[in-house]
Amino acid sequence: MSESALPTLNTWVEIPKNSDFTIYNLPFGVFKNKKLSPRIGVAIGDKIVDLSVLDQEGFFSSLFLPEGIFMNDSLNELIALGKAQTKKIRERVQNLLLEENEELKNHSARGKVMVNRKEAEMLLPVKIGDYTDFYSSIEHATNVGKMFRDPENALLPNWKHLPVGYHGRASSIVVSGTPIHRPKGQFKDPDMEKPAFGPSRRLDFELEMAFITGKQTKLGDTVSTGEAEEYIFGMVLFNDWSARDIQAWEYVPLGPFLGKNFGSSISPWVVTLEALEPFRVEGPIQEPEVLDYLKCEKSHSFDINLEVFIQPEGKKASKVCTSNFKHMYWNIAQQLAHHTVNGCNINVGDMMASGTISGSTENSYGSMLELSWKGSKAVPLEDGEERKFIEDGDTVIMKGFAEKDGIRVGFGEVAGQILPAKN
Amino acid sequence: MSESALPTLNTWVEIPKNSDFTIYNLPFGVFKNKKLSPRIGVAIGDKIVDLSVLDQEGFFSSLFLPEGIFMNDSLNELIALGKAQTKKIRERVQNLLLEENEELKNHSARGKVMVNRKEAEMLLPVKIGDYTDFYSSIEHATNVGKMFRDPENALLPNWKHLPVGYHGRASSIVVSGTPIHRPKGQFKDPDMEKPAFGPSRRLDFELEMAFITGKQTKLGDTVSTGEAEEYIFGMVLFNDWSARDIQAWEYVPLGPFLGKNFGSSISPWVVTLEALEPFRVEGPIQEPEVLDYLKCEKSHSFDINLEVFIQPEGKKASKVCTSNFKHMYWNIAQQLAHHTVNGCNINVGDMMASGTISGSTENSYGSMLELSWKGSKAVPLEDGEERKFIEDGDTVIMKGFAEKDGIRVGFGEVAGQILPAKN
């Protein structure tokens, strides 16, 4: 599928070594800066291509786009144009950035088009309608099952038959860089006679990725695994902050609620499925065989390296986890097919997260719950620090990138600092 | 609190006997008809007061409303004006409809203002941001616990300490009258060796009410029980359609998902908290004592009669349930205070449903699951029909009204027909 080497593309934009934002990537985001109101851009190296200026200068005239489509504080309207159009926009931008293309390179508007990424503030890229969180890593589900249920029967009976998922809170999804206050809530540890109220004592991250839907369905309609990628615009990194003590007390029988909905953080640049195409890999073998509606004609797994760092306030960041998106047992096509098989309708801008992405080795676990094995052992950081869970002032940084044949397509990062609980 | 009798109000509008839409009610909704584009109205008797026409004719001039505020396909912008304003709008409408007020009664625009309700199509009244479903009836939670867990310990340990809730799907909430296809999905009955896929065999309703938030908070902010009603605009009837077989197989450990998100139906008229004020009653005693953040200074329970009817296609409707909103163990102020105590932010137009409202008698159970006791006994309908669950072609109708001292404030109904599963 992705066996053929990509054609080498050269750009006139300077691309720093190991940049996530190469000519092969070109993710979409929403930004503003001191002078510019919110608008849509594409990241390349340390720059942002201001698509609204490109549009004003007539560079998209052959695409007949709606007026002002890039002068927008979310990608929703752009995405809603449909994949045929957004693909053409991305290809046009790629073409304009090629070394051999002089249209923009030698254009008087070039300075206005190319905005410094450092000076830009990234905004939440989409207005999220509904948010769903899956639970699709077999390693994560097994670890949690071992810790909280039966080590011999760690996976619940339904787990290998369907991509378990639940609805989350859309309103509290924030863009990278937004600090989050430690949540307060009820908890009752096994040794407590009755529940108590206070700041969470076991605050955690969950390393996830999420896809953003780009096409709506009507109530009653379904999306097959074969059609699914037509409905997926792109992906982001997703930190599903979790308060383990609140979650443990509240979640029976209807699932996680306040242990999750105090905040989730996403990376600002939406990497398109087109950019991820070269990194498509075979997914894990699913045994027992899945029901027909979950079967796939082709692979929908992607080889994306993932890393998590913890940075205590004023100190160095330490890597605590190295994982990969390809570990996911259930893929994005199966997730979307399952979600809609009952007729549940989706809208442009819905977000569906993977669930914690753990690998099989101890350093690949995607949460402190697993890394510290329920708080039973400290995870060493640099500078003599150690952590069982996240402390006030800590910043959690997640990075993700795909790399093959010298070609890199990355997500940048999602970072968020935990502030003390509010009084 | 509600001891003093209401002043008697007479209106020049003809109010049919037992109308839910009296001069004391005046709920808000969004409607259109063959001639009129979507707009906001207030129900009175068999009429709708077209607020956009009232506004054009200058009847709200003293309120300095934003231009075109009523020419809207949702109530969100109106609600976002704040309770001080929406209260004044409702009071102004009430005043204009009084017998002794001749402003509208004798105005040339009266015919244009008063639209026939029968000829109007009601639309979904709000753009719903996030939807949460609680589980706040102790009778319902006890019944479910007896059926599926331990009859001796039916309530889970957390139930009396916090209003258990979970996130639901906002996109699939539809207005009364919208038919719903029977969902397909996975199920695995205890006697099955492996899961199967097909149309749900145990389709159910859940009798609920939901409140709509009218004021937003920022991430990190909390709303106390004392402040909660300032954040609640009004209420609707809510049918939380449920596929019991799909739900039973999928819901461990993260809660209901496809067993619920194929559709939920709401009544079109949003009854304001102001209209419900006369029906405020003491809630149940909560023992053990709740944590401080869940304590209430005053009562937040309301005496609202609820009924459920099943109407097989082409036959008479049969009442199968008579319940009351006052049975709720956890009230709306506690629900909202709990939801936000961790800093979860709310937006205007969020919907929070009560959970199934069951009473203590067998005819007051708010779902077929309970009425047929897990399908173990048939519920008799008129014309010799009987039901354990909902069959194709059945329409489920829920009604709700409060009544006191000859004053009636009702919700109308939420009705929905189940169509066969799609091929």
pTM above 0.90, yes or no: yes
Q: Yes or no: say if B401 and B271 are a contact pair by the CB < 8 Å rule.
A: no
Q: How far from chain centre, in Å, is Cα A42?
A: 17
* Out of A180, A184, A254, closest to residue B166 by CB: A254
Per-residue model confidence (pLDDT) at position A7: 85
Token pair in block for residue B418: 């189940």
Which pLDDT band holds residue A245 (cuts at 50, 70, 90)?
very high
- Does residue B3 carry a pLDDT above 70? no
CB-based contact, B252 to chain A, within 8 Å: yes
pLDDT single digits (tens) B126-169:
999 999 999 999 999 999 999 998 999 999 999 999 999 999 99
* The pLDDT of residue A222: 98
Rounded CA gap, B51 and B48, in Å? 9
Burial of B190 (0-12, 13-18, 19+ CB in 10 A): exposed
User: Domain extents for chain B?
Assistant: 28-123, 131-419
pLDDT of residue A4: 57
Q: Is there a common fold for B28-123 and B131-419? A: no
Please determine, for residue A3, whether its predicted confidence score (pLDDT) is greater than 60.
no
Average pLDDT value for residue range B384-410: 97
- Kindly give the residue spans of alpha helices, DSSP state H, lying in A109-213: 110-113, 138-148
Residue B423 is predicted with a pLDDT of: 86
What is the number of other CB atoms lying within 10 angstroms of the CB of residue B228?
Answer: 23
Q: Compute CA distances B226 → A107, A338, B161, B297, whole Å.
A: 61, 42, 19, 7
The residue-averaged pLDDT of A244-268 equals 98
β-strands B173-175, B264-266 pairing:
parallel
Residue B223 near residue B180, CB atoms below 8 Å: no
Cβ–Cβ gap B156/A186 under 8 Å: no
Question: Rounded to the nearest 10 degrees, how much is the dihedral formed by the CA atoms of A166, A168, A174, A180?
Answer: -110
Residue A155 pLDDT class (50, 70, 90 cuts): very high
Asked if B164's CB is within 8 angstroms of A250's CB, the reply is yes
Q: In the predicted model, what is the mean pLDDT of residues B362-389? A: 97
Per-residue pLDDT at B5 exceeds 80 = no
pLDDT band with cut points at 50, 70 and 90 for residue A423 = confident
Could you write out the DSSP letters of every residue in A6-18?
Answer: PPP--BSS---TT
Residue A353, SS3?
Answer: strand
Is the pLDDT assigned to residue A129 strictly greater than 70?
yes
Q: What pLDDT sits at residue B4?
A: 57
d(CA B283, nearest CA chain A) in Å:
23
- ipTM value greater than 0.90: yes
Q: Quickly list DSSP for B354-394.
A: ------SSGGG-SBHHHHTTTTTSPEE-GGG-EESSPPTT-
pLDDT tens per residue across span B188-203: 999 999 999 999 999 9
Residues A156-173 pLDDT 10s: 999 999 999 999 999 999
Residues B220, A293: C-beta atoms closer than 8 Å = no
Chain A from 101 to 140: CB within 8 A of any B CB: 129-130, 135
**Mind listing the pLDDT tens digit for each residue in A89-118?**
999 999 999 999 999 999 999 999 999 999
CB atoms < 10 A from the CB of A169, how many?
27
What pLDDT is attached to residue B1? 43
Tell me what the pLDDT averaged over chain B comes to: 97
Task: Check A107, A140, A327, A338 and give the catalytic one.
Answer: A140
Q: What is the rounded average pLDDT of the residues A123-148? A: 97
Residue A14: band (very low, low, confident or very high) from pLDDT cuts 50, 70, 90: very high
pLDDT for residue B2 is more than 80: no
The per-residue pLDDT for range B100-138, each reduced to its tens digit, is: 999 999 999 999 999 999 999 999 999 999 999 999 999
Annotated catalytic residue, options B107, B140, B338, B339:
B140
Chain A to chain B Cβ contacts (< 8 Å): 190
Return the pLDDT at A1: 43
pLDDT more than 70, % of chain B: 99
Distances (CA, A) of A342 to A94, A227, A294, B25, B355: 39, 16, 13, 37, 21
CATH topology assigned to domain B131-419? Fumarylacetoacetate hydrolase; domain 2 (3.90.850)
Q: At the fourth CATH level, which superfamily is domain A28-123?
A: Fumarylacetoacetase, N-terminal domain (2.30.30.230)
Residues B271/B234, Cβ–Cβ less than 8 Å: yes
**B140 catalytic residue (yes or no):** yes
Question: Which distant-in-sequence residues (6+ apart) come within 8 Å of B17 by Cβ?
Answer: none
Per-residue pLDDT tens digits for B256-315: 999 999 999 999 999 999 999 999 999 999 999 999 999 999 999 999 999 999 999 999
Please name which of B325, B189, B301, B179 lies closest in space to residue B247, comparing C-alpha atoms. Answer: B189
| Burial degree of A88 (CB within 10 A; 0-12, 13-18, 19+) | middle
Taking CB atoms and an 8 Å limit, are A129 and B263 in contact across chains? no
Tell me the pLDDT band of A2, cut-offs 50, 70 and 90: very low
The reported pLDDT for the residue numbered B307 is 98
3 state DSSP class of A323: strand
Nearest chain B alpha carbon to A263: B344
